[in-house]
Structures are given as structure tokens and as C-alpha cells.
Structure 1
Amino acid sequence: MKKPWVRKLLIGLGIFFGLILIANLAINIWLKTQLPDYIKKNTDYQISYKSLGVDLGTGNIFATGITVNNKNPQNVNVMGFQGTIDTLKVSRFGIYDAVFNKTISTSDIYLAKPNLNIVLAKPKDKKKDKKTNPVSFENIRINNGTIQVFKHTKQKLLGVNDLDLMVENLQLTEDTVENKLPVTFDHYSIKGKDIFFQPDEIYTLKVQKITTANGQVSVNNLHLAPIIDFDNFKKTYPKKKQLITASIQKIDFRDVVLKDNTVSLTNASFQNPNILIYTTDAIPDKVKKPLNFELNLGNFKLNNALIQVNKPDGNKMLFAKDVNLNIKNIEFNKETSAEMIPLRYKDFSFSGKDIQFSNHQDMNIGTFSLSPKKGDIRNISVIPKQVGSGKTTMNLTANQIVFNINKWEIVDKKLNLDVKDVLVNQVNGTVTAGTIKSTKKSNFNGIQFPVLVRNVTLKNSNLTYDSKNQPLQFQNLNATIKDIELTEKPKNGGLAVKVKDYNLTTRNFAYRTKFYNMTVAALSVGKNKIKLDQFAMKPLVSRAQFIRMIPVESDLYDLKANQVNVVGEWDFFSDNQFLHATNVSVLSANANIFRSKIPADDPKEKLLYSRLLRTIKLPMFIDQLQLKNSVLEYEEDTPKSSGPGKLTFTNFNMNVKNLNSAKMKGKPTQVDIKINCTFMETSLLSVNWGFNTADQSDRFTIAGKLNNIPAVALNAFVVPYMSVTATGTIQEMLFNFKGNPKGIGGTFNIKHKDLKVSILDKDSKKKKGVLSAVVNIFVKSDSGKFPESVVVEDVERDPTKSFFNLFWKGIEDGLKKTLIGIDVDKTKKTVEKTKEAVRDVKTTVNEAKASVKEAEKDISKAVSSDQKSPAEKPKEKKGIFRKVFNKKENPETK
């Protein structure tokens, strides 16, 4: 027998379920008869249906033949619905919220054959209005639907036909549209045709067909097109940088998830895209808010793309076809957007054909391929587009550029790059240096230093580098550079370069300047050795042209050398540049130096060699410099000379020890120079010359000996300048000088024999006999067996003249005091006085002749006179001759 409380419980439950059944039946009856009127009175919508079933317990609703409209289509504050639904299934419908809160909420909704126009509510200020949306649902299924979505302004936002859709956790508000995400969801399945999407006032997006099969979404014939033309775009949106138009034949992707401003998908593939980008000169406003958008792509493929970017004037800036891009595991977020490469990825490959790039020059690339491990660029050509732009330009072709990469990764938001090797093959053309220097400081914030390049090879190239119309030419150029290390300069920016080893070879090397063409038959440059074969530096102008072209005095050189060798070590790339050569040898050089005194003097101070070496900025030290078996000629002319005077030094051998800039620590600064040669092809000359580059007073010593000089050998130099010839022999000349920037002095000794001097007329170059005889009175024709040295002193230097001008002044002063034996200036004055005396003698003789004639007249008168006595006549005659010869004696003619 049942207990009483059990019976009561069962009766209570029966009554309860009975009441629920009655209520459910009553509500269904009420919904069928009263719900449309209730919705019409208490909501913003009008709804009608053919049948409706409601399960009060579960909240499930099933309806057919539904028609829905807004009561007030002009009310933009609520979402608008207008259209029909063949079948509606709703799970867990919130009846309470629908009745009392005037909101519709449900977990699942199924629509069969919906034909709806949806108008999104006007976005609300979340700070002022925190009301929930009038319609919300988590999961939705649509079968064979036609959906049109409009903004509250009645502008069409989204449209789709034949829509089959399944979406889980769907959220649809206009707020998400403004963030470029019209919907957010977790899982999906979609199929539709004639899709239309207009996210803003600039673009429309159209898709012919979209389908889903086993999680794979396929999009056919996508078109992104601007609503306005480019000219109106620039006027309407002056701050926007670019306008894009694109068409893509097919897009495939899978596993799309849109959630919390995150787009996730895998295996996205774009087939045959055609992309055109118009750029403007606009400067966009700086984005104040950080990027709040994340993109996660498992794999991304771009196949057979055509890409074109136009300049603001409509001309092409970039064009490429057959572009293929494959990126694995892409990540894009707030953190990566601040990095040099705003994407993170596991691997990528990129390739393209017929690539064109244009700025101030046109670049064309036949094929291009790149991956994190290697790159290959082929058939490159660069052609200048603008003449005289002031920018560095290239006019060249290259067969291939290939490189392999050890490491390419992002570390602490910086690019870490380690290149294994680079090969550049068959580069031909010209690089012209620009005249405009950039004022922008280089920014390397996105690079992690050091950047390493292990090996660079340049093969079979012919290059010309032209700077200021001074071309530098390399033919058959081959070069290798090993272990390049790039670091940022801490003080003034830019890059510092360290190189472990390098080697360069070229033939027919040439460098042309304003006045010269320098050539080398073969050039080899390495880290420890430099070799030049058949070096020549030839003037491009004649001597007469050179004189007209220079504003002040300058030397004109004509140089050549069979070979130049440099051995040592040096660094010209890093911040710690230096040059330390153990040996420099120049073999069989021939140098002609010409200077004309016709142009104006150069008023600039000429530095002595010790100070000149100190001006070299980098530490330089050459243990030994040798000039072997060479010829040196120096020619000089003046406005008064008839042709240039010439000094010749043959069999010229020079040895320089410790040539330095006084900047290399631990190295001596004393420079010793020894010269041995044949002077004027007849006489042996030896010179010892020395100075200390660290000596701020620039003192120097120079001593030497010259043997057996036929005086006629000097005529080639002294005739054009002094109008003097000499015969005889200078058996030995010794000099020992010390000097500084103020002057020179020391001792001078000369031994000579049978020396005679002839003075020539400056115009006719004929010998002046009388003057030559007078001068030779004072010249010591023989010095004797042991001539004494003379002291050279008080020889002042002209700071605007060279060191050799000062040295010659010392020789000249010694010659005055030993060769002639008297002061030359005094000798010249004596000669002038002798000339005056001769003129006075001639004058006296003429006066005497006149007096004799006068006396003859007087004698005739005296003889014929009878008034005078014979005793007086002889006396008168004697007075007449006294008158003639009793003139005042000239002390100069006496």
C-alpha cells in the first residue's frame, strides 16, 4: 500500500504537467490567434504566418509561410526586416524576453527559402546606450535563401542569391562592419551566387559563386572595383594613399574562423589574380590608435598573378606577371606590425616574370625568385629615364644575380641576416654618380647588426663608374670578396664595412679626368698585394691648351711605368682604415713634368713634404718605396724664354724608407730618401734627403754629389731662361743643406775646369762678344785642385713656391759664390758701368774731332794775319792745341 505522501506527490506532478499541457495548448492557441496582433502592438515588426507551433517547455518554434515587415521602415534605430520565409525553426526561443523586453533571442535558427531585405540598425554610442540588440542568435542555418543587407542609410552592404549557409556562434552588427568584419563566427558552411559586398563609399566587391565542401571554401570570379574614378578619388579623399582594383579567377581556403577581431584560415589559394593599384602623393594622417586586428593563415598561395602599380601621373611604377607567392604559417598582429617585416611566417617562396620598375630610371627583370634560403634574378636591365636629375643612375645589363642565405629571421623585432654567398654574372654598362647628397639620416632600426655576407663573386663584367664626367672603366672585371661584415656607425650613421679578404682583376682599366687619361693593361688588387702592368697617364690636351685652361700655375704630367707592385696589408672599408705596405716598387717608369710660368702664380702656400704627409688622415706606413731604372724629365718655360728649359734624369733609382703619415703607433717617423741617377745623360748624381713627419717645425736635410758635368749639358736649361751658354767641365759639385719652411742654408763646393760663358741676345740668340768678354774677366775658369766650400745662408723661401724651388735657390746661391767668384748682381752693375764708360769715350772723341776742325780754322786765320809778330805766332798755336785737349778728364774713362 502506497504511502500518503507519495500519492500526494504523484497527484501534484500530474496536476503540474496537466497545467503545463493546458498552458502549452492555450499558448499555442493564443499564438495562432493573438501573437501577430501582439507582435504588431508591442514590437517594431509585423509578422504573419500560415502555421505556427510552440513548445512552451523547450522554447522551440516551428512556423511556415512567414511574412515579416517593419511597422515603421523609417525608424533607423532598430533592425529592419522585410520579406518572406518558407519555413522557420527556432530552438530555445526566449519567450520572456520577447514578451517583456521586446527582444528576440534564440540559440538556433533555421530558415528555408528566406527572401529577406535586412536593414541594420544605426550604430549606437556604447557609452550612452548600453541596450542589447533587438535580435540575437548563436547558430543559423539558411537553405536556398536570397538575402539583401543594407546599412541604416539604405546603402546596400551585402547581397547573395541561392544561399545555403550554416554558421555557429554568429554575430552580426554594424559595429563589426566598421572593423572590416561584417560577421563573426566560429564554424561555417556556405554556398551562394551573385554575392555583393560594399564595405564603404569607395569599393564594391562582387563574387560570382561561392561553395563549401568538406570545410573547403571556393570563391569564383571575385572582383574588387572602385565606385569612383581616380581623379574624383584624389579630390574626395585627399589623405588616402592608394586606390585598388582587382579581379581573381578563383580563391580556395578552408577552416575560416572570424572571432574577436581575428581572422583565421588555412590553405588560402588565389588563382590568376589581376591587381591594379593607383597611388597618390597624399600624406596619410598618422594612426593614433594601435592596430587591433589579427590574421592567422596556415598557408597562403598566389598563383599566376598580374600586378601593376601606377604613379600619381598615371604612368607605371611597378609591373609584374606570372607572380607566384607561397607563404606558410602567416601571423599578423599588433606586435608584428611594429617590426621591419610586419608578418611572421615559417617559410615562403616568391617568383615572377617580366618585372618592370620605374622611378628616375626603368628597371626590367626577366625572371625573379626568392625564398628564405636563396634568390635568383636573371636578365636584368636598368635604363636612365631622367637626364640631369642629380640622382645616381645606372645604364647597364646583368645576366644573373644569385644568392644563398644562411639565416633570415626576425629577432627582437629586428631582421637578422646572414648571407652565404652572392654571384653577380656578366654586368655590362655605366653607373653615373649623383650630384645631390641626401640630407636624410639612414635609419637601420629594423636591422640587427652585424649583417654578414660570407662570399661575393663578380664575374666577366665590363663596368664604367662615372663621377663628375670622370669615368672609371673596368673591362673583363672579376672580383671575389670574403666575409663582409656590415655594422652601423654609432656617431654619424651610415654603415661601416669589414672585409676579411678580397681579390679583383681587370684588363684595360682606364680612368679619365679633365686633363688626363690613365690606363692599366692589367690590374690585380688583393688584401695583401696590388699589381699594375703597363701603367700610363697621358694628357688629353696639348701644352698650349693646358696653359689656356688653368687659372694659375700647375704641372702637366706625362707618366708611364712598366709595372707597379705593392705588398703589405690595408683596410679601406671599416672605421679603422689604415695602409701598411712593406714594399712598393715602380719599374721602368718614364715621367715628364711640364710647367709654364705664363699663367699667374698660385698664391696658395705650398706645404713641405713632411707636413703634406701629415695631412693624410689615415695611418699610413710604407717600409720601402723603390723606383727602379726610370727616366725623369722636368721642363719649364717663361714668357721671356724661347721654348722650355729642360732637366733630364736617366737611370733614375730611388729608395724611400719609412714613408709615413705620423699616425701609425709604434712606427718610426723619420723618412730617408736615397737617389742615384744620371743627370742630363752625362753625369752621375746621388742625393740623400731626409725629414721627420712628426716634426712640427718641418725641418729637413738634403745632401748630394754631382760628377763630371760638361757645361754644354746645362745649356738646354739655362739658354731659354738666362740667354747664356757655357763650355768647360764641372768636375764635381757637392752640396749639404738644411732647411725649414722659412729658408735653406749649408755648404756648397764645386770643382771645374776651362769654364767659359757666352752672353746671348735674347731675341736672336747670337753671341754678344764684348759683353761675354767682360763677364769672362770675372769668371774663374779653373777652380784649382782643392777648392774651398762656400757657405750658403740667408736664402729665404717663397711659401707659394715648391720645395724644389727652395732647393734650387740654395744651388743658385752656391753657384754665384763659387762658379763666378763674385756677386752676380755686383757683376751686372760693373758691366753696366763699363758700358757707360765706353759711351763716354765715344762722346769725348766726337767732341775732340769737332775741336780740331775749329782749331784748323783758327790756325788759318793766324797764318794769314800780318799784324802778329813771329814770336807771338808759335805761342798762339800752342794755345789752340791746349784748347782742344785741355778738357776735364772723366774719372770713369781715365
Structure 2
Amino acid sequence: MKKWVKKLMISLGILLVIILLANFALNIWLKTQLPNYIKNNTDYKVSYKLLEVDLMSGNILSTGITVNSKNPQNVNVIGLQGTIDTLKISRFGIYDAIFNKQISSSDLLLSKPHLNIILAKPVDTKTGKKRNPVKFENIRINEGNISIFRHTKQKFFSVQDLNLYVENLQMTEESVEDKLPVVFDKYDIKGKNFFVQPDNVYALKISAIQTSNGRMSIDNFQLIPLMSFDQFKKYYPKKNKLFQFNIQKMEFTDIVLKKNKVSLANANFYNSDLLVYTTNAVPIKAKKPLNFQLNLEDVKLNNATVQVMKPDGKKLLYAEKLNLNINELRFDKETREEMIPVGYKNFQFSGQNILYSNHQDFNIGSLTLNPKKGELRNISAVPNGSSKGKTSMDLTTNYIGFNINKWEFIDKKLNLDVKDVFVDNVKGTIKAGEVKDNKKPNLAGIQFPILIRKVTLKNSNITYDKGNQLLIFNDLNATINDIQLTSKPDNSGMAVNVKDYFVTTKNFAYKTQFYNMTVGFLKLNKNNIQISQFAMKPLVSRAQFIKMIPVERDLYDIKANQITADGNWDLFSQNKSINASNVTIQSADANIFRSKIPNDDPKEKLLYSALLRSIKIPMNISNLNLKNSILVYEEDTPESAGPGKLTFSNFNMNVKNLNSAKAKGKPTRVDIKINCSFMNLAPLSVNWNFDVADRRDIFNISGRATNLPAQGINPFIRPYLHVTATGTIQEMLFNFKGNPRGLNGSFNLRHKDLKIAILDKNNQEKKGFLTAVANLLVKTDSGKLPEDVQVEDVERDPTKSFFNLFWKGIEQGLKKTLIGINIDKAKKTVDNAKTTVKEVKKDVKGMKQSVKEIGKEIKKTSNETNKEQPKEGKEKKGFLKGIFNKKEKSETE
């Protein structure tokens, strides 16, 4: 053996002996002196039955350990109190323990520990440095009972029968501030009766936790408020929610807790029960967002119940049998800035017996939803008594289904593209609100436009009630294509644009204060309208109507077999318009009644050109045709005995270019042609035109009636002129031109065998003498068509309608040509005769008085004579008496 080898061997041997002796000496020292050293140089008092230390490896084994803090009031170090059956430490940092007062180890085994741990105060207020006096890379606990308290002695965490293996465990109050009280890389855990109190409001309890093959199971997870709702509102007036929930069982795999991040996979939550109390407090925005991330690979919520309470104790939201399956759910710095603060790859959601209540209760029997489609069944909306002044619904529907092309949030805004929506069997009433909300809606969270490609409504019966005016749709079916929701330019709400639609309904009805309008069948789309069996019937009698209206107003009774229209119209978008090529009304029967008994309406009545011009949207109807119809106009006055009546049967009308003068490039002159039977007796034709764009509102109206029996106009002239006529009006012509101030024009009348009868004010008895005189002045036959008479300066009452002005023109023409002048002549002749009779009666009365005076003188003379000549006087007296009596009799006759 070489010398240097021999020397090396001797040196190593000596070194080994020294190490063995040092290790032996150290163990003797640890057994005899370590407790005193720990007591004198650390903050703890420790005793044990056995302690073995391997100086080479740094491994420590100890049994029967008891540990207590020397100063339990010192909040700057971790406080310890309890016992440990066995303690095993691998690679213990002796140098750090002696010189840096820091306990560190790569591995820690605690067998049957019964410990109370008080966490150190997280920050030294003088230096601002974090304290972390205990550090273990890996920890194993068997059958442990551990309680952890905050430095304030408030209980923070406890567990019983804990069996735990954790790699790279970190557990300090610093972690609590980040919402994660413990973090680790790998774990294996089993225990029961877990308790965590993260703050003064809530406590977290778990009956049992166990892991098997990397899968964790948690039984009876509870988040419990530590105070009542009333106490919460009192002590936390600025918080707006108080939570309480139970989860019967949770299961998941691959849990990772690291710093501010929680990750797990295949999570299942069974029989969850969530209860949320809300207050009226406005939530305070956090100054610093939570530094917290959550990643869940697959999450399943099974048979959950959710209940959210209003501040008054009533339910805001309730849902049961909720099932949710989410893939790749995440909550992080990016997602928490979005409207929905979580991200996901896919989800499936379902629930039953869902209630949402605001000013009315919405109930859903069942709901299923995923990112591509949704279905709702057995839905109802019912007012709950808190809907005063607001729009409310009392509706039920069997089914609502929809398919979605795109549903995402970009830059905190909803981007929505709906493929289709299907709604089936809606029944009930929508009641319009009385209170108008002038508050502009907040649309900042919507990325416009919102697209809804198709909406289909089937087999529905819906009533819309606006101030007791009912709009009723029976057997309603509708399809609306390509709906686009955009923001209005002034941000006052959403505008609706519709590309196409198709609507049908049967037994449609619209009920107002005075009318019930019904339609047997209605078909409507963007290019065609078809209406069958239209009726507009009064709900009140004429007498009732007169009592109910404060001023003059027409009462209508209208029917029409069919109404059709072709063209195109836009009634939904911001740029509404009507452009129809043809509108046809078949077989209408219209009765218009007006009573002059109520007060006149003082409002100005616009002419038709001005009325059309007041329509706010572009409107143009190239041809409007009214065919084979009947129009009856009735009017009565306080002086008339019954209403005057005008009848236009076999009524046919064509209107060209009915417009509002707002459609660019379209003609604005309206031409109206009417052909009908006047009073069911004679043909009548009328031509009428005006230019809607001409603000002078000039109009022209002309017409011709032929072979009209004079008695045909009696129903109208009898109540007003107290006249009836017989004979024939062979031809009547009129041609008027007017404006809002009045009209002028010409009138002509050709008649034959004309006789008139003048009636008393009750229109019952004929005034014979006046009638005879009038007929003496009437020319029975006019012969050939006489010259026109001029209708001049007919002044319009602006509070009266156009037809009032038109009738005044006809009336002046009639007076000038026939009836009015002759009656006036007859009345004048009779008045002259009456004057003559009065004068004759006056003369006779004077003569009678003179005779009486003469008689008195004769009597006086006779008496004086009789005194002087009695006998002769008596004879004279008798003679004079006879003469006087004869004279008086003659005078009387």
C-alpha cells in the first residue's frame, strides 16, 4: 500500500470517528439541553419523550412532544399550543433555526397532532416586511386535530381527523389576503368537520373531505352568514348582498392552489341550495380588483336550487332542479372586465319552476340553454300588484325556442346574432302602461346591430289593452324576417328595422270607447294586405252618443266585404313609408251620423290637402278604388224633426296619387272621380282635385246629377228647409273652386213638373195658403237648360268640415235657381196680403166706433123729442132702433 493511500484512509477514519462522536455528543446535548435552548432562545416551550437527530442528513425524529408559546400575547410570531405524538423532519435547517430563527425543512411528518396555531401578524408596522418564520416544502399529517386562529384570536380554520399530504405547502395570513388561505402543488387529504371563517360575515363548514386516486370528495359544504339579514343591513349598510348556500356533495380532480390561482377539473356539485338576500344599497366599486384567477376544466351543477330575495322579503328570483355543465370555465383579469365576468368554451344549462319577479311574476315551467340554442316551456307572466302605471302582461305560452348563430362579448359589449325564434300558443292580455319613462336606457353594453334572422309566432290569441281600448288578435300567426336592432341617433332607445314579415289573424277586433271594429280575416305582409268582412260598429246608440260627446262629432257605422292593397311599405324602421300601387275596397256600407245638438267644435278643421300634408311619413297610393258601395250621411238639428238624410248607392270612387307630399319624385296632385246613384234614384258623377304640396289648399270640385225625382231630396231638405217637392230634376250641374276661406263657382238646374209644399216647423202639416202662393210663383217646367247662376262668396266656417262648405255652395245654387227664391216670393206675397187685411180690419173698427157715436147722438135727440111729443117720439125711436140694429148687423158681417 502506498503511503499517501494509507494516510488518506487514516484521515477518513479519524474524520468518521469525529463525526460519529459529534453526532453522539449532539444527540446527548439535544436530549439534555435542547428543550432549555429552545426555551431560552426561541418563543416556545417544548418537551418530548424521544428526540433523535442525524447531523449528517439533518433528519429529526421526536415522539411525545408538547409545545406551548412562551408569550401567547406576542402577535409577531406564530403561536403554538398542543401535542404531537410523532414528529419527523427531513433535512432540517439547523443553521437557520439557530442563527436566523427560521424553521425550515423539506419534509415534515406530524402524527396525531392536536394543535392550536395562532397566525403571526402579517405585516410589521414599523418595517413593512412580511414575516414567515415557518416554511415546509412538504408536509404530512396523520390523524390530526388542528385549529388555526388569526393574530386577533379569532378562529380562522379548524379540522378533525385530518390525514394530509401536501407538496410545497404555504400557509400564512398573506395568502388569506389574496383570498387563498393555503396554496400547494400536490395534495392528498382526508378529514372531517372543517371550519373556515374568512371574515366577520361568513363561516364555511364542511362535514368531510377525502381524496382517492387524485379525486377529491367534499360532503355538506356550507357557507353560513354569522348574522341575521336585519343585522347585516344594520352593520353593513353599504353592502348590497348577503349569501347563504349549501352543497350536499362536491367532487373534482386535479386541484391546484398556487398564489392567486385555483385550478381544478371534472368538478361536480350535487344538490346545491343558494340563497341571496339583496338590499337597496348601491354597491361600492372596489378600489383594487381582486387578484384572483379561477380555471375549471369541466364543471357540473346537479339539481341545484337558487333563491334571490328582494329587500322587502319577497322573491326576486327562484329556480329549482338547475343543472349546469360548463367546459373550460375561467375567471381572470381579462374576463372580469366583461359584462359576464367569466369565460367558457361551452355550456349546457337546464332548470324547472323558474320565477322572476319585478313589477310582475314571470314563471317558466322548464328551461334549457346552450350557446347555440334555448327552449322555454309553460311560460306565464302575471301582474303581482306592484305594476301601477307600468306596462304589464297576463300571458301564457306553451313554448319559446331559439337558435343562435353568435353570442359573445367583445370589449365589454354584447354581440348577438340570433338565427331564429319560435313562439307557440300565446294567450292573454298585454296592458299598456300609463306612466311614461323618459329616462334613456343604458345601451353601452350592446354592440349594435343586434340581428334576429327570423321570428315565428303560431296559434296565438293576444289582447292589447291601452286605456280600455282593446286590440284583439285571434288565431294569430306571424313570421318576421331579418330584424335589425340599432341605436337611435339620439340614444333614446333602440330602433327596429324589418326586412320582411307575414301576418294572418282571424276574428281580429279593436274596441274603443264608441266602436267595436272587427275583421273576419286579415293577411298582411310587406307587399300585400287582405282584409275580409271588416266592420266598425257603434257600441252606443245615437242618443247615448249625443249625451257622451262634449262637441259635435261623427258617429260611424261601416262594413266592407273586402279590402286589398298591393305595393310596399315600411312600418318598423326609422324611415317609415307607405308606397301602394293599388288599394281596393269592395262592397262597403257606410253610415255617417252627425248631430248638431251638441256644441260646435271650436277647433279649426283642415281641408283634405292640409290633412294629408300633416302625415309625417312619405305616403303615396297610386290608385285607391272604392267599388259597389253605399254611403249614407245623416244629420239632425234641434229644429229638425228627425235627421236629414243623403244616400249615395252603387258608389264607385277612384283616387289617384293619394299622398303626403313627402315622397321624392312622386306626383302630389290628387284626382278623385266618383260615380254613384244619388238617393237611390239618379246617377251622380263628381270630379274633385287638389294639390297636397300647394299650401294655398286650393281645390276644384264639379259634378252632374240627372233625372232625379224631386221627392228624392225630400229626406234632406224637409228637416232643414221645411219643404217637400215633387216632379223631376232633369239635370243639376255644379262647378266650384275654393280654398280655406270659401268657394265660388256656377250652378245650374233643369226641372219638370215641379211642385213644392211648405210645412210647419214640426214638418207635419202643410201650410195650404203659403204652398198655393209658392206654387203660383214656381215655374213648373224649366224647359231647356237655363243659364248658369253664380255661386258667389260662400264663406267657410273654419270650424266646419269641407263638406259643410260644399253643401253651402249647393244650397246657394238651389236658392238662386229654384226653391229658395220661390218660397221667399210666396212668403213676401202672403206677408203683403196679411198687411192689407190688417189695414182693412183697422178701417172697419174705426167705422164701427163712428156708428156707435152717431147712435148715441140719435138716442139723445130722440129722448128730448119724446118729452115734447111722446107718441110721435116713440114711433121715431122704434124706427131709429131698427135702422141702428140693421146697420150694426151689416157692419159685423
The alpha-carbon deviation at position 678 of structure 1 amounts to 0.7
Q: Kindly tell me: are residues 823 and 117 of structure 1, through their superposed partners in 2, closer, same or farther at Cα, counting changes over 3 Å?
A: farther
Paired letter, 1:634: Y
- The residue aligned with 2:631 is 632
The alpha-carbon deviation at position 242 of structure 1 amounts to 2.5
Give the Cα separation in 2 of the matches to 1:43 and 1:827: 140
Q: Which moved more, 1:159-168 or 1:415-424?
A: 415-424
Does the alignment pair 1:753 with 2:729?
no
The alpha-carbon deviation at position 69 of structure 1 amounts to 0.7
Q: Kindly tell me: are residues 127 and 691 of structure 1, through their superposed partners in 2, closer, same or farther at Cα, counting changes over 3 Å?
A: farther
Give the Cα separation in 1 of the matches to 2:836 and 2:24: 163
Paired letter, 1:765: Q
Give the Cα separation in 1 of the matches to 2:828 and 2:57: 141
Q: Which moved more, 1:832-841 or 1:604-613?
A: 832-841
Give the Cα separation in 2 of the matches to 1:781 and 1:618: 55
Q: Which moved more, 1:262-271 or 1:387-396?
A: 387-396
- The residue aligned with 1:406 is 405
CA contact (8 A) 2:774 2:823 kept: no
Q: Kindly tell me: are residues 359 and 259 of structure 1, through their superposed partners in 2, closer, same or farther at Cα, counting changes over 3 Å?
A: same
Does the alignment pair 1:64 with 2:66?
no
- The residue aligned with 2:881 is none
The alpha-carbon deviation at position 636 of structure 1 amounts to 0.7
The alpha-carbon deviation at position 846 of structure 1 amounts to 2.5
Q: Kindly tell me: are residues 852 and 72 of structure 1, through their superposed partners in 2, closer, same or farther at Cα, counting changes over 3 Å?
A: same
- The residue aligned with 2:585 is 586
The alpha-carbon deviation at position 668 of structure 1 amounts to 0.6
Paired letter, 1:319: Y
The alpha-carbon deviation at position 52 of structure 1 amounts to 2.6
Give the Cα separation in 2 of the matches to 1:449 and 1:127: 55
Paired letter, 1:31: L
- The residue aligned with 1:792 is 791
Q: Which moved more, 1:242-251 or 1:524-533?
A: 242-251
- The residue aligned with 1:457 is 456
Give the Cα separation in 2 of the matches to 1:76 and 1:13: 49
Q: Kindly tell me: are residues 737 and 31 of structure 1, through their superposed partners in 2, closer, same or farther at Cα, counting changes over 3 Å?
A: same
- The residue aligned with 1:235 is 234
Q: Which moved more, 1:105-114 or 1:181-190?
A: 105-114
- The residue aligned with 1:251 is 250
CA contact (8 A) 1:339 1:446 kept: no
- The residue aligned with 1:394 is 393
- The residue aligned with 2:360 is 361
Unpaired segments of 5 or more residues in structure 2?
869-886, 888-893
- Correspondence 1:378-389 to 2 at 5 A: 378-386=377-385, 389=388
Give the Cα separation in 1 of the matches to 2:492 and 2:8: 90
Does the alignment pair 1:120 with 2:119?
yes
Paired letter, 1:189: D
Does the alignment pair 1:717 with 2:716?
yes
Q: Which moved more, 1:750-759 or 1:336-345?
A: 750-759
CA contact (8 A) 1:621 1:659 kept: yes
Q: Secondary structure at the match of 2:818?
A: helix
CA contact (8 A) 1:780 1:821 kept: no
Q: Kindly tell me: are residues 66 and 746 of structure 1, through their superposed partners in 2, closer, same or farther at Cα, counting changes over 3 Å?
A: same
Paired letter, 2:202: Y
Cα offsets for 1:386-422 (capped at 9, x unmatched): 1762222222221111222222233333332222222
- The residue aligned with 1:686 is 685
Give the Cα separation in 1 of the matches to 2:848 and 2:773: 28
Give the Cα separation in 2 of the matches to 1:853 and 1:388: 96
Does the alignment pair 1:674 with 2:677?
no
Unpaired segments of 5 or more residues in structure 1?
868-883, 885-894
The alpha-carbon deviation at position 730 of structure 1 amounts to 1.8
Give the Cα separation in 1 of the matches to 2:124 and 2:257: 24
Cα offsets for 1:446-505 (capped at 9, x unmatched): 332222222222111211111111111111111112222222223233222222222111
Paired letter, 1:291: L
Q: Which moved more, 1:837-846 or 1:693-702?
A: 837-846
Q: Secondary structure at the match of 1:114?
A: strand
CA contact (8 A) 1:581 1:621 kept: yes
Cα offsets for 1:614-661 (capped at 9, x unmatched): 111111111110100000011111111111111111000000000011
Cα offsets for 1:177-196 (capped at 9, x unmatched): 24332112222221111111
Paired letter, 1:576: N
Give the Cα separation in 1 of the matches to 2:153 and 2:811: 106
Q: Secondary structure at the match of 2:211?
A: strand
Paired letter, 1:334: K
Q: Kindly tell me: are residues 18 and 436 of structure 1, through their superposed partners in 2, closer, same or farther at Cα, counting changes over 3 Å?
A: farther
Q: Kindly tell me: are residues 318 and 861 of structure 1, through their superposed partners in 2, closer, same or farther at Cα, counting changes over 3 Å?
A: same
- The residue aligned with 1:415 is 414
The alpha-carbon deviation at position 764 of structure 1 amounts to 6.1
- Correspondence 1:437-476 to 2 at 5 A: 437-476=436-475
Q: Kindly tell me: are residues 155 and 724 of structure 1, through their superposed partners in 2, closer, same or farther at Cα, counting changes over 3 Å?
A: same
CA contact (8 A) 1:370 1:376 kept: yes
The alpha-carbon deviation at position 530 of structure 1 amounts to 1.0
Q: Kindly tell me: are residues 306 and 861 of structure 1, through their superposed partners in 2, closer, same or farther at Cα, counting changes over 3 Å?
A: same
Give the Cα separation in 1 of the matches to 2:34 and 2:49: 13
Cα offsets for 1:791-834 (capped at 9, x unmatched): 22221111111011111111122222222585988987776566
Cα offsets for 1:705-761 (capped at 9, x unmatched): 111222221111111122222223221111111111111111222222333333221
CA contact (8 A) 1:817 1:823 kept: no
The alpha-carbon deviation at position 232 of structure 1 amounts to 2.1
Give the Cα separation in 1 of the matches to 2:36 and 2:739: 119
Give the Cα separation in 1 of the matches to 2:137 and 2:542: 96
CA RMSD of aligned residues (A): 2.8
The alpha-carbon deviation at position 587 of structure 1 amounts to 0.5
The alpha-carbon deviation at position 211 of structure 1 amounts to 0.7
CA contact (8 A) 2:330 2:343 kept: yes
CA contact (8 A) 1:723 1:765 kept: no
Q: Which moved more, 1:12-21 or 1:386-395?
A: 12-21
Q: Kindly tell me: are residues 771 and 316 of structure 1, through their superposed partners in 2, closer, same or farther at Cα, counting changes over 3 Å?
A: same
- The residue aligned with 1:611 is 610
- The residue aligned with 2:600 is 601
The alpha-carbon deviation at position 22 of structure 1 amounts to 5.3
- The residue aligned with 1:286 is 285
**How many residues are matched?**
869
- The residue aligned with 2:879 is none
CA contact (8 A) 1:775 1:831 kept: no
Does the alignment pair 1:306 with 2:298?
no
Q: Which moved more, 1:740-749 or 1:856-865?
A: 856-865
- Correspondence 1:533-612 to 2 at 5 A: 533-612=532-611
The alpha-carbon deviation at position 563 of structure 1 amounts to 0.6
Paired letter, 1:696: R
Q: Which moved more, 1:285-294 or 1:40-49?
A: 285-294
Q: Secondary structure at the match of 2:676?
A: strand
- Correspondence 1:333-344 to 2 at 5 A: 333-344=332-343
CA contact (8 A) 1:505 1:525 kept: yes
Paired letter, 1:77: N
Give the Cα separation in 1 of the matches to 2:334 and 2:38: 49
Q: Kindly tell me: are residues 408 and 90 of structure 1, through their superposed partners in 2, closer, same or farther at Cα, counting changes over 3 Å?
A: same
- The residue aligned with 1:46 is 45
Q: Kindly tell me: are residues 634 and 64 of structure 1, through their superposed partners in 2, closer, same or farther at Cα, counting changes over 3 Å?
A: same
CA contact (8 A) 1:268 1:300 kept: yes
Cα offsets for 1:593-613 (capped at 9, x unmatched): 011111111111101111101
The alpha-carbon deviation at position 508 of structure 1 amounts to 0.9
- The residue aligned with 1:522 is 521
Q: Kindly tell me: are residues 43 and 645 of structure 1, through their superposed partners in 2, closer, same or farther at Cα, counting changes over 3 Å?
A: same
The alpha-carbon deviation at position 837 of structure 1 amounts to 4.5
- The residue aligned with 2:871 is none
Q: Kindly tell me: are residues 49 and 703 of structure 1, through their superposed partners in 2, closer, same or farther at Cα, counting changes over 3 Å?
A: same
Q: Kindly tell me: are residues 48 and 838 of structure 1, through their superposed partners in 2, closer, same or farther at Cα, counting changes over 3 Å?
A: farther
The alpha-carbon deviation at position 118 of structure 1 amounts to 0.6
- The residue aligned with 1:215 is 214
Q: Secondary structure at the match of 1:485?
A: strand
- Correspondence 1:31-42 to 2 at 5 A: 31-42=30-41
The alpha-carbon deviation at position 127 of structure 1 amounts to 8.0
Identity between Structure 1 and Structure 2 (%):
65
- The residue aligned with 1:880 is none
Give the Cα separation in 2 of the matches to 1:275 and 1:829: 100
Give the Cα separation in 2 of the matches to 1:530 and 1:666: 25
- The residue aligned with 1:436 is 435
The alpha-carbon deviation at position 772 of structure 1 amounts to 3.2
Does the alignment pair 1:196 with 2:195?
yes
- The residue aligned with 1:870 is none
- The residue aligned with 2:727 is 728
